């Protein structure tokens, strides 16, 4: 398995897609029930293959990621050759940018000495989607990129 298995909730949401996946392999719902009961290792393999297919689709469409912690904001732009990072670091005591008040403080104090902005760019390793997946596993979420673009303009 390349990524990780989808959660039970994710499988439930993707029930019709999973049924289509099984149908492409000529597996009916009756056969699937039989496989789960009599050949659980085959069922596990099918769940893993389906999970990887879903992850590949999601990761290949992702354009931006963000990871927000109380005093840091990691904003990623996913391009064809590189992943670009804007890091916003808060060095002020008692500021938590995960709260509305803390984020408002950041907007109003972006030029304050206690706010540091960094930029970096990195080429992908052998597998672009796996690099993106690792960031998601570390807490990043796929997003619209609005924050990235806002901070990109501030840095320029």
Listed by start position, the domains of the chain span 8-61, 64-155
- What band does 156 get if pLDDT is binned at 50, 70 and 90? confident
Question: What's the count of helices (H) and strands (E) in the chain, helices before strands?
Answer: 7, 5
pTM of the model: 0.86
Which residues, 6 or more positions from 68, have their beta carbon under 8 angstroms from its beta carbon? Answer: 74, 97, 98
Residue 43 has pLDDT above 90, yes or no: yes
pLDDT at 155: 82
Instruction: Print burial letters for 81-97: b (CB count within 10 Å at least 16), e (below 16).
Output: eebbbbbbebeeeebeb
How far is residue 143's CA from residue 56's CA, in Å, rounded to a whole number?
Answer: 17
How far is residue 43's CA from residue 22's CA, in Å, rounded to a whole number?
Answer: 11
Of 3, 156, 147, the C-alpha closest to 76 is 147
């Amino acid at each position: 398995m390349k990524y990780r298995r989808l959660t039970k909730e994710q499988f439930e949401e993707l029930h019709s897609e999973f049924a289509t996946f099984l149908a492409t392999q000529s597996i009916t719902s009756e056969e699937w029930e039989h496989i789960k009961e009599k050949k659980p290792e085959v069922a596990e393999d099918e769940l893993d293959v389906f999970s990887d297919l879903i992850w590949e689709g999601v990761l290949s469409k992702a354009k931006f990621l963000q990871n927000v912690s109380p005093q840091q904001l990691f904003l990623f732009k996913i391009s064809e050759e590189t992943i670009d990072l804007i890091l916003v670091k808060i060095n002020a005591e008692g500021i938590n940018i995960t709260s509305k008040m803390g984020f408002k403080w950041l907007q109003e104090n972006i030029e304050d000495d206690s706010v540091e902005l960094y930029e970096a760019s990195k080429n992908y390793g052998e597998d672009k989607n796996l690099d993106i997946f690792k960031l998601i596993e570390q807490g990043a979420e796929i997003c619209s990129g609005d924050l990235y673009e806002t901070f990109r303009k501030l840095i320029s």
